[in-house]
A and B are shown apart, each in its own frame.
Chain A
């Protein structure tokens, strides 16, 4: 039982890895992913505005990624506010981008999102890794403690993403 639980905990906090292949150039895929995030991210469901302002009619209208290392990732809302989603940790167009990812306003550290773009035939393979909560190391109790502290990040991320779903 304990072993099962431990395994599941490890599994639960391992990085999320997803891959998608798109029929367009690497350069274009990179630009859409970064410069045009607002055109594909489901802002109506997952945003800080949904998270905190849905009841007062404020909506998210765009997400902008400032294309440079240290650049800001910002959600623009219908009332003109700019809400931080994190920052660009690595900016290597059109190959790779890494974000410190924190699309919510709570006082927890960001998780990390790495996306790589690889030419595949006449399209582009996009690999995404969402990590930063696999804090259960092999260093015994200390790792466990860090792991326990890491979980709220995941959970708040879930809560932020799930938005109204979670409040239902």
Chain B
């Protein structure tokens, strides 16, 4: 599982809507489907993709299956953002030091 898989999974607006609903707490498929303009089987399919991307887990509770956010999946996204800024700032440092070392030069 990687941030790219997670991002790809969240690229779909409906899937993102399903994911956002889970941020409010664990839900069953029926609850998730309510209020979304897609069928229950479609929601199940989106949940499978989210699960495959490591963003969602499920567990049986009595007669129904509850879906919830997978903490590790979020941590992966977070780590990605940290890495992104590390790389951008490293590039900034290079630019600043290169130009800073040649005070007379412009452009």
Which residues of A line the B interface, CB within 8 A? 1-2, 4-5, 7-9, 11-12, 16, 18, 20-25, 28-29, 32-33, 36, 39-42, 46, 126, 128, 130, 144-145, 147-149, 151-152, 154-155, 157-159, 161-162, 165-168
Contact = CB atoms under 8 A, between A and B. Distances in A.
B71 A8 contact: yes
23 contacts: A1-B68, A5-B68, A7-B71, A8-B71, A16-B81, A16-B85, A18-B82, A20-B89, A20-B90, A22-B96, A24-B96, A24-B100, A24-B101, A32-B96, A32-B100, A39-B95, A40-B88, A40-B91, A40-B96, A42-B87, A155-B10, A161-B81, A166-B4
B78 A11 contact: yes
Interface of B: 3-4, 7-8, 10-11, 16, 19-21, 23-26, 68-72, 74-75, 77-78, 80-82, 84-97, 99-101
B84 to A, nearest CB: 6
Contact of A33 (B8, B77, B80, B96): B96
B33 to A, nearest CB: 17
B75 A8 contact: yes
Contact of B7 (A32, A149, A162): A162
Contacts of A154: 77, 81
B23 A40 contact: no
A28 B100 contact: yes
A165 B7 contact: yes
A126 B3 CA distance: 27
A16 B25 CA distance: 24
A5 B77 CA distance: 14
Contacts of A158: 3, 7, 10, 77, 80-81
A148 B84 CA distance: 23
A24 B24 CA distance: 47
A1 B94 CA distance: 43
A1 B67 CA distance: 12
B99 A32 contact: yes
A42 B89 CA distance: 10
A25 to B, nearest CB: 7
Nearest to B73: A8
B71 A40 contact: no
Given A40-B96, A144-B24, A145-B24, 13 more contacts: A8-B71, A8-B74, A11-B74, A18-B85, A20-B92, A32-B100, A128-B89, A154-B81, A155-B10, A159-B7, A165-B4, A166-B8, A166-B11
A7 B70 CA distance: 11
Contacts of A9: 23, 69, 71, 74
